[in-house]
Amino acid sequence: MYALQSLLILASLGVNAFGATYSQSDSHTGTGFLKSFTHEAISDPTHGRVNYVDQSTALAKNLTFASGDTFIIRADHTTTLSSSGPGRDSVRLQSNKQYTTHVTIWNIRHMPQGCGTWPAVWEVGADWPNNGEVDILEGVNDQSPNQATLHTSSGCSMPSSRDQSGNSVGNNCDTASTNNAGCGVQVTQSNSYGPSFNSNGGGWYAMERTDTEVKVWFWPRNGNVPSDVANGETTIDTDGWGQPFAYFPDTDCDINSHFGPQNLIINLTFCGDWAGAVFDSDNCPGDCATYVNENPAAFTNAYFDIAWLKIYE
């Protein structure tokens, strides 16, 4: 009786009384992305060799395509660029809604690949870095595995030992003191990114954010994926998902004060601060900007194919 009364009190206060159980608040498939996301025709904040186009241009040039359970966003792969002109046409989408405590599940069949590419699925607040950034899927130049990263203002770091399956590549999340590297964790599976991800038919990425932690999971296609994830069910329980590959606790970071309301972003840029900086060391040919300008056919496979996105709160 007292337990029931406690649950009712928690429910009346808007508290999730069932721990890691969430209900679906948004579901995006096919043309639904066009209604729920905005094409951002902006200058690339990462200084890439890219020209982000608006929705009408993206649709007219077939850089965005939606039909049934298929949603494609891609870069131009037919135009040779002038070195004095704008970068390669591509797409950057931002969700119209913002989220705080929530879970996202991304069912992705294909991600952009090719030397010079820098694709990402991530979340960011309006006042960067003070409202934080969570990178769920990100990499450059076809270099597997995937890396999940937090970028914050000062005073946020991660313990060197924590309950995750991935490998930490930095524990200080402060952008100012890490030259924007943040605190990253790499997946152990090679098929989590790039050509190997695509040849395996893709997979699922999921991210859970609360006031006290951020977790990121990856399951490859035909892998041991939880049924509520695979089916995009209306109610999910993250406690049944096993160990995340990336775990960011509030041990030495007040998650609630470092992360504000965030928009979801999907984008594809080229070269820039990361892909351009490591272009040679990633065994890509010549100069990154020149390669992107002069080799349009190299970006035939530079596209996202997203089956669906489910959001839970």
> Known catalytic residues?
133, 138
3-state secondary structure of 198: helix
Distance in angstroms (rounded) separating the CA atoms of residues 156 and 255? 8
117-125/37-39 β-pairing: unpaired
Instruction: Sheet containing 167-168: give its strands across.
Output: 37-39, 92-99, 262-270, 117-125, 133-138, 147-151, 183-186, 167-168
Number of H helices, E strands in the chain: 7, 19
3-state secondary structure of 83: coil
Size of the chain in residues: 313
* Torsions phi, psi for 300 (to 5 deg): -60, -35
Identity at 306, one-letter amino acid code: I
- Using an 8 Å Cβ cutoff, are 32 and 69 in contact? no
Closest to 159 (Cα-Cα) out of 34, 219, 261, 248? 248
3-state secondary structure of 94: strand
Distance in angstroms (rounded) separating the CA atoms of residues 135 and 131? 13
Q: Name 161's Cβ contacts closer than 8 Å, sequence gap at least 6.
A: none
Residue 252 CA: distances (Å) to CA of 134, 154, 227, 258, 259: 17, 11, 34, 11, 14
What is the phi-psi region of residue 182: left when phi exceeds 0, alpha when psi lies from -120 to 50, beta otherwise? left
Distance in angstroms (rounded) separating the CA atoms of residues 265 and 212? 22
